[in-house]
Amino acid sequence: MLGPGINIRRTPLAGRGYEYYAEDPVVSGDIAAALINGLQQEGVGASLKHFAANNSEYRRTEMDSIIDERALREIYLAGFQRAIAKSRPWTVMSSYNRLNGVQTSQDPFLLTQVLRDEWGYDGLVMSDWYGIKDRPASLLAGNDLAMPETRRDKQTLLAAIHAGEVPMAVVDRACLRMLTLLDKVQRHRRPQTQADFPAHHALAQQLAAESIVLLKNDDNLLPLRAECTRRIAVLGKPAQEPVIQGSGCATTVPWLLDRPLDEIFDLAGDDFSVSWAIGAPDDLRSDPQALAEARAVAQAADVAIIFVSTAVGEDGENGDRQDLNILAVHEQLIREVATVQPNIVVVLANSDAVVMPWISECKALLETFFAGQGMGRAVAEILFGKRNPCGKLTVTVPDSLEETPAWLHYPGENLRHHYGEGLFVGYRYYDKRRMTPRFPFGFGLSYTRFAYRDIRLSASRVGTDETLTVSFDLTNCGECEGKEIVQLYVSAPVGELIREEQALKGFCKVSLAAGETRRVTLQLPVAELACYHPGLADWVVTPGRWQIRLGSSSRDQALSAEVEVDCPPRYVPLRDDNSLQQLIQQPEAFARVVALIARKSQRPPAQIRERLIQLAPDLFCGLLIALTEFLALDIDRDELNAALKGTE
């Protein structure tokens, strides 16, 4: 299977955002790993894609994604690394774009240094369709399979092999990987397997129900109750023609499709009276007669359920969204109905976040995104309380397009797309800016309430090779069964590098009966607290007191505790043009320089140390100038640098 795709949802404008999981690499990596393991356990190989930094569709085969190495590793590669470590996909697919000047399908840094040498991946790497521009270069970089292999590819590769530009060892290695994959496919063949389509559809309904997010429920309008909302008006074309997926190569034809209107009629039975009006039959033009009919139907009801969507076909491959609006005719429908009906439920179908200037007109809001063939039944069951919504947002919903992190940089210019927000993607950006979005990352309501109590850590002090156990009591305080997605966030102590305010490090779904309390435990490997230090070209854990927080979203965390991470600080090697202040911040290097000065000047080390500390605030110049000009010491550049590096 050519999936899963786990590119970060950096901007809600991205056309293929609906194919990807989240704005966060932990969510992306963990969900991808679960899918890959499920597929491959049943003998179906997965192709993890698109590697890497293919985060929008605008001129995707030409665009150069310019990303600093820290953001690249912590945000855009981290999900791939996590998925590969937890699932070992049979193949990895390279992307179309360039990355920092190099075509990703021909990038030895990505395909060999990172993927194979650092992460230990031993499967096959393949290109996206016609994604290779230089076949010999791609093979040398570690791209084993060109899809499809064109006549020109074969000719240029054969010529390069004959010319000795591509060693036979490289060819043999790629061939071995291909043969290994073919053998794996053959060994996992199950020709007698019979597809159970009804069971698959039931699973699609369950998946849809557990992914739909209840964003608003004023006055507990939902679930619908016959004693107060017996007369139901269903409005909007998507109730009859549900929008369940985007366009492009991920589009599939469902074996069975649940229509929300049919499912609402089915579940309403004799307890409710259901009426229907389309309201907006044309996606592009308002229809006054249809609007008038919708108003009349809504006015005669106790509650109006309005199905709305973004433009069908705009969300997909090779094209990005132009704005974050729902269809204008759908917004008009909401506003018109609101003039005659105070109890409105809006059911959204969209690829990614939308702006909601109409939200005050509705009391309840269900976000389905693109929920697949079982969406209709899932929505109906949630509306009538047959299922309790438990989905959480994996993206932040902004108030406007202009407040999104990538707004100033999208879509790039001159074929260069600078990811100027760095690692501050999604909730990291809103947290750092102290901004309140429309709905935060991780948010989602339920028909019940959950209480978090009694957080405990397995240790108060841990090393980087240990795993911290975090446990707490979770109670369902309501009157119905429910599922809560618990989220674990961490905040780093102040260190040398700029950090996000918090980062998600784990999550789990817990099912509780009404009134039930359960002790919930999450594991946090301390090594996962590391950030990438470009100056050291390595992952580094900041020592000090870390805050551990548990809650129901990135902005609602009921419990917190602190743990001391015990590890030696690591420093970027100093140079002779660093300042005296910087030297003092590195105790070992400072001691070596003090010892050097003591040898050269015959003065006591304690006296030298005190003098340097006294001078440091007033000296902005480099160390060599400070020591030779201001302290009149006879020290040359080589011996100073040797002391700084510890190579005397």
For residues 560 and 587, membership in a common domain is answered with: no
For residues 377 and 497, membership in a common domain is answered with: no
Does 315 score more than 80 pLDDT?
Answer: no
Residue 328 lies in a domain: yes
Digit-coded pLDDT (tens) for 555-600: 999 999 999 999 998 999 999 999 999 999 999 999 999 999 999 8
pLDDT, average across residues 38-44: 95
Residue 10 lies in a domain: no
Q: What is the pLDDT of residue 319?
A: 85
User: Of 515, 534, 565, which residue is a domain's last?
Assistant: 565
CATH code assigned at 234: 3.40.50.1700
For residues 521 and 621, membership in a common domain is answered with: no
pLDDT confidence bin for 10, thresholds 50/70/90: very high
Domain housing 633:
580-645
Residue 324 lies in a domain: yes
Residue 405 lies in a domain: no
For residues 34 and 146, membership in a common domain is answered with: yes
For residues 183 and 204, membership in a common domain is answered with: no
Looking at this protein, which amino acid is placed at residue 489?
A: Y
Does 547 score more than 90 pLDDT?
Answer: yes
Q: What is the pLDDT of residue 109?
A: 98
For residues 483 and 547, membership in a common domain is answered with: yes
Distances, alpha carbon 163 to alpha carbons 144, 155, 156, 158, in Å:
19, 12, 10, 9
For residues 26 and 141, membership in a common domain is answered with: yes
Residue 279 lies in a domain: yes
- 207-210 contacts at long range (C-beta below 8 A, 24 or more positions apart): 207/371, 207/372, 207/374, 208/368, 208/371, 208/372, 208/374, 208/375, 208/377, 208/378, 208/379, 209/374, 209/377, 209/378, 209/381, 209/382, 209/387, 209/389, 210/390, 210/391, 210/483
Among 24, 30, 107, 128, the active-site one is 128
H/E stretch holding 382? helix 375-383
Digit-coded pLDDT (tens) for 214-253: 999 999 999 999 999 999 999 999 999 999 999 888 889 9
Cα Rg of the chain, angstroms: 29
Q: What is the pLDDT of residue 619?
A: 86
Does 209 score more than 90 pLDDT?
Answer: yes
Q: What is the pLDDT of residue 600?
A: 87
For residues 182 and 245, membership in a common domain is answered with: no
Residue 2 lies in a domain: no
Q: What is the pLDDT of residue 536?
A: 95
Q: What is the pLDDT of residue 633?
A: 87
For residues 38 and 127, membership in a common domain is answered with: yes
Express as a percent the part of the chain with pLDDT over 70: 100
* DSSP SS3 for 562: strand
pLDDT confidence bin for 618, thresholds 50/70/90: confident
Does 314 score more than 80 pLDDT?
Answer: no
For residues 239 and 288, membership in a common domain is answered with: yes
Digit-coded pLDDT (tens) for 296-311: 999 999 999 999 999 9
User: Of 187, 215, 237, which residue is a domain's last?
Assistant: 187
Look at the pTM and tell me if it is higher than 0.85: yes
Contact residues for 276 (Cβ-Cβ < 8 A; gap 6+): 233, 234, 235, 239, 261, 297
Residue 573 lies in a domain: no
For residues 455 and 341, membership in a common domain is answered with: no
Q: What is the pLDDT of residue 280?
A: 97
CATH code assigned at 558: 2.60.40.10
How many structural domains is the chain composed of? 4
- Cite the DSSP H helix spans in 257-344: 260-268, 288-299, 328-338
The whole-angstrom separation of Cα 375 and Cα 378 is 5
What distance lies between CA 11 and its chain's CA centroid? 11
How many alpha carbons fall within 13 Å on the CB side of residue 195?
Answer: 4
Does 323 qualify as catalytic in the annotation? Answer: no
pLDDT confidence bin for 316, thresholds 50/70/90: confident
**Of 105, 52, 109, 114, residue with least CA distance to 85:** 114
Digit-coded pLDDT (tens) for 141-152: 999 999 999 999
More confident residue, 601 or 430: 430
Q: What is the pLDDT of residue 83?
A: 99
User: Of 159, 187, 215, which residue is a domain's last?
Assistant: 187
Q: What is the pLDDT of residue 64?
A: 96
Q: What is the pLDDT of residue 333?
A: 99
Residue 622 lies in a domain: yes
Contact residues for 296 (Cβ-Cβ < 8 A; gap 6+): 277
For residues 288 and 351, membership in a common domain is answered with: yes
